[in-house]
């Protein structure tokens, strides 16, 4: 069970509002419907959820002081610090689930509103693109799924992925202060190693098509947290920046960035998106082999555009836009100089 399920959030709010200063127990007992016993049980609950609260005796009277908030993505902590308008309208925070995308899919089918956010400390069966596994180290990353019910006309999955990639990249770069790159369609790389990936799925519901956007962001992972096959290939914001990050701060930065870019996407401004994507792309100017179904085309990537796709100059010198949804894979070709 999630230890935050039954927390006395009123008591917590009073302690938080005091900004680390002591709050007199007498006043807290008076505010608690259960009196002294109620306060004791509320304190037990908060401590079990990881809050460090100490008893102090300033001027001889008993008081309580909040010393430490746990490193957990509790819904009430996220809400406290979130400044978005619609993302996070509802927040479901879980200790463990199979995949946040699966939980979000079920919630979307049950009518959950746009902006509903599912967070998990760990996933037993985190999914990546193309049937791959997303390795979810407990408590180290941000594993989230967002339900988005877009206004008409809805964006294509390709546009949605472009937009999400840009939003994730901007938020992560802001946190680490280093340049990142987007590897088509939307892996976030720092110095060639992957720090985030995303998996967007369209779900049919009674209220129309809902989009579920799953994002996995490696935040406080150390090298030894990654399985052998990911060492040297995966990275985290901590490894990139050289310091551990406050995960709630990283999450709220990410959600603000997503809301800003989704609002732009809803306004149909795909050129602004393209302009933001271009400098982040790891592919522009590179020779690649592009797979479409069973066919392969080799050429230089001249440009990328969320609505038009990939502009490829083939070996024969012809340029053509290839719609992103037709492309299954792009492999950069290492050319000898
Ligand atoms: C990829 O890089 O292939 C996509 C990875 C997406 C991982 C996230 S973690 C939260 C959400 N739940 C999942 O099962 N997958 C996405």
- Measured in Å, residue 32 CA sits from the centre of ligand 1 at 42
Closest C-alpha to 217, from 241, 251, 249: 251
Q: CA 283 to CA 192: how far, in whole Å?
A: 12
The tens digit of pLDDT for each residue in 241-274 reads: 999 999 999 999 999 999 999 999 999 888 888 8
Q: What is the 3-state secondary structure (H, E, C) of 136-179?
A: CCCCCEEEEEEEECCCCCCCCHHHHHHHHHHHHHHHHHHHHCCC
Ligand 1 pocket test: pick from 93, 134, 217 the residue with the most ligand atoms within 8 Å of its Cβ: 134
Q: What is the pLDDT of residue 242?
A: 97
Ligand 1 pocket test: pick from 138, 199, 234 the residue with the most ligand atoms within 8 Å of its Cβ: 199
Ligand 1 pocket test: pick from 157, 215, 217 the residue with the most ligand atoms within 8 Å of its Cβ: 215
In which residue ranges of the chain is pLDDT below 50?
Answer: 1
- Measured in Å, residue 99 CA sits from the centre of ligand 1 at 8
Q: What is the pLDDT of residue 35?
A: 74
Q: CA 79 to CA 217: how far, in whole Å?
A: 19
Q: What is the pLDDT of residue 171?
A: 98
Q: CA 310 to CA 182: how far, in whole Å?
A: 14
Judge whether 148 and 214 are in contact, CB under 8 Å. no
93 lines ligand 1 (CB under 6 A): no
User: Which residue lies with its CA nearest to atom 7 of ligand 1?
Assistant: 216
Judge whether 35 and 29 are in contact, CB under 8 Å. yes
- Measured in Å, residue 170 CA sits from the centre of ligand 1 at 18
Atom of ligand 1 nearest to the CA of 132: 3
197 lines ligand 1 (CB under 6 A): yes
Q: What is the pLDDT of residue 337?
A: 52
User: Which residue lies with its CA nearest to atom 2 of ligand 1?
Assistant: 197
Q: What is the pLDDT of residue 264?
A: 93
The tens digit of pLDDT for each residue in 288-304 reads: 998 887 788 899 999 98
Task: Give Cβ neighbours of residue 6 (< 8 Å, ≥ 6 apart).
Answer: 45
Atom of ligand 1 nearest to the CA of 197: 2
Q: What is the pLDDT of residue 34?
A: 72
Q: CA 65 to CA 260: how far, in whole Å?
A: 37
185 lines ligand 1 (CB under 6 A): no
- Measured in Å, residue 129 CA sits from the centre of ligand 1 at 7
Q: What is the pLDDT of residue 210?
A: 96
User: Which residue lies with its CA nearest to atom 15 of ligand 1?
Assistant: 127
186 lines ligand 1 (CB under 6 A): no
Pair of tokens at residue 106: 């079920």
Q: What is the pLDDT of residue 91?
A: 98
Closest C-alpha to 259, from 47, 44, 86: 86
């Amino acid at each position: 069970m999630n230890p935050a399920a039954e927390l006395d959030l009123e008591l917590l709010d009073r302690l938080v509002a005091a900004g680390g200063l002591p709050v007199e127990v007498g006043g807290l007992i008076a505010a608690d419907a259960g009196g002294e016993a109620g306060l004791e049980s509320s304190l037990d609950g908060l401590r079990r959820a990881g809050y460090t609260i100490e008893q102090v005796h300033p001027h001889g009277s008993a008081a309580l002081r909040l010393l430490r908030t746990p490193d957990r993505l509790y819904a009430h902590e996220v809400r406290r610090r979130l400044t978005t308008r619609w993302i996070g309208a509802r927040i479901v925070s879980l200790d463990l689930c199979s995949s946040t995308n699966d939980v979000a899919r079920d919630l979307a089918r049950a009518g959950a509103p746009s902006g509903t956010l599912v967070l998990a400390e760990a996933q037993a069966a985190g999914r990546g693109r193309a049937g791959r596994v997303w390795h979810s180290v407990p408590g180290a990353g941000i594993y989230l799924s967002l339900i988005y019910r877009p206004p008409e006309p809805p964006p294509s999955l390709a546009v949605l992925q472009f937009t999400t990639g840009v939003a994730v990249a901007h938020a992560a770069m802001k946190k680490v202060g280093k340049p990142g790159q987007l590897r088509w369609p939307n892996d976030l790389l720092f110095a060639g190693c992957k720090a985030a990936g995303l998996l967007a799925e369209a779900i049919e519901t009674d209220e129309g098509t809902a989009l579920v956007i799953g994002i996995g962001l490696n935040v406080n992972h150390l090298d030894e947290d990654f399985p052998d096959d990911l060492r040297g290939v995966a990275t985290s914001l901590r490894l990139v920046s050289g310091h551990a990050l406050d995960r709630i701060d990283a999450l709220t930065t990410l959600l603000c960035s997503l809301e800003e870019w989704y609002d732009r996407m809803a306004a149909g401004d795909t050129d602004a998106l393209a302009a933001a994507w271009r400098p982040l792309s790891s592919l522009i100017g590179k020779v690649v082999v592009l797979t479409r179904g069973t066919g392969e085309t080799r050429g230089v990537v001249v440009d990328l555009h969320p609505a038009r796709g990939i502009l490829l100059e083939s070996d024969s010198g012809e340029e053509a836009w290839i719609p992103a949804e037709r492309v299954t894979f792009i492999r950069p070709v290492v050319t000898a100089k």
